[in-house]
Amino acid sequence: MQLGKRPENLIYKENEYYYLYVRKVGLLGECIVGRVTYIANYNRNKERRKLEKVSPERVLYKEPHINIINTGDEWKYWRFSLKIGKTYKVLVSKKCMKECLNWCLKEYIVRRDELMIVDGISDLIFLT
């Protein structure tokens, strides 16, 4: 049975958005990767980082067919339809992140060599 509701793929001006790479690795699990921004040094070898907000208009210009998820119900529906092993790009609103992916909004302690580059986008880390 499908959960939630079909994503409307609308951008709401009052929402903040995050750009994520999502790969379903099993029936109940996914690997989520996101771009993080520098906050401060943690110690000599590590830095404090958090997920970076993006301009949805800018992302849509480069990725016109990207999915846009605004609510937890839309996330559940979209997540259910993913194919195992395929990587998807998605814009997720802060409201949805707080409801379904709250851990992704937390602060991360990383070493510079743990940061990845995918599709020319740098400073990516695994969020799950």
pLDDT of residue 4: 74
**Inside any domain, residue 2:** no
What is the per-residue burial (b if ≥16 Cβ within 10 Å, else e) of 88-99? bbbbbbebbbee
pLDDT of residue 34: 95
pLDDT of residue 128: 84
List 41's β-bridge partners, or say none. Answer: 47
**Inside any domain, residue 1:** no
pLDDT of residue 2: 58
How far apart are alpha carbons 118 and 121 in whole angstroms?
5
**Inside any domain, residue 3:** no
**Inside any domain, residue 36:** yes
- Asked if 120 contacts 48 with a C-beta cutoff of 8 angstroms, the reply is no
**Inside any domain, residue 12:** no
**Inside any domain, residue 39:** yes
If one counts the domains in the chain, the total is: 1
Mean pLDDT by 10 residues, the chain (128 residues): 78 95 88 95 94 95 95 92 94 96 95 89 90
pLDDT of residue 100: 93
> What is the extent of the structural domain holding 42?
17-126
pLDDT of residue 49: 96
**Inside any domain, residue 34:** yes
pTM tops 0.85, yes or no: yes
**Inside any domain, residue 93:** yes
